[in-house]
A and B are shown apart, each in its own frame.
Chain A
């Protein structure tokens, strides 16, 4: 047998389960999931990899949209597919009866942990008029899952 240098696959899933704390910032006293939220942003906003936390700057406003967005339905446990850990919300993000300006971005953030930003997703710019908007999730696997650690 021989040794191979690598980041352990199990570690990637464990990161998503908050099993490892390299810093001394967070104290966890309970085995509960954090709450994640999904907020929509106008096409004129600047939300990107440098975003560190949720903010109302550039967020969608209007009838049918509440600041902060919607709570993510999180019934899928992080899983490992080959060497890729992945996680995807278990339901679409939905808004009803909205009237908005043009928006093209959704930011997922951790509302339990000081609204820390998780990821930013963009899609074709759209404007809703007295209608519904659904942001559908990709298939939850190691190739298309919404958040993947490879």
Chain B
């Protein structure tokens, strides 16, 4: 069993796990890195890559409307340097469902 010593204590290497997730916020791209030991967070680091300082010329807004037999769909995207950083959507149901009753024939 190999153990490692960190600022947070001594841990069994086989039971250590690194988890990372990303979130897009109004301020920038948030990255949360967590060191887990036996399912519990023992250390966490949060980093924010702020939108400020990026070239506004690289910010793009894109809107699209599509129709299907059942709906009208609108998708609005914000792109930074070609990558989608936010996508909103809406769909409008054009007509609901009709259950037609049959008349009984005797």
How many angstroms from the CA of A144 to the CA of B97 in the assembled complex?
8
A136 interface neighbour in B77, B92, B97, B101, Cβ under 8 Å? B92
Are A122 and B70 interface neighbours, CB within 8 A? yes
Task: Write out the residue numbers on chain B whose beta carbons fall within 8 Å of the beta carbon of A131.
Answer: 76, 86-89
User: Chain B at the A interface: mostly helix, strand, loop or mixed?
Assistant: strand
Are B73 and A127 interface neighbours, CB within 8 A? no
Q: A6-B103, A147-B96 are in contact. Are A123 and B88 (CB under 8 A)?
A: no
A114 to chain B, nearest CB (A): 21
Task: Write out the residue numbers on chain A whose beta carbons fall within 8 Å of the beta carbon of B5.
Answer: none
How many angstroms from the CA of A134 to the CA of B73 in the assembled complex?
10
Chain A 13-34 per-residue mask, 1 if CB under 8 angstroms from chain B, else 0: 0000000000000000000000
Scan residues 134-150 of chain A and give those whose CB is less than 8 A from a CB of chain B. Answer: 134-138, 143-150
B97 interface neighbour in A63, A126, A133, A146, Cβ under 8 Å? A146
B6 to chain A, nearest CB (A): 29
Known contacts A131-B87, A150-B99; 10 additional CB pairs below 8 A are: A119-B97, A121-B96, A123-B71, A123-B93, A124-B71, A129-B87, A130-B23, A133-B89, A148-B97, A148-B99
- A→B interface (CB under 8 Å): 5-7, 12, 63, 84, 86, 88, 99, 119, 121-124, 126-138, 143-150
- B→A interface (CB under 8 Å): 23-25, 66-68, 70-71, 73, 75-77, 84-101, 103-104
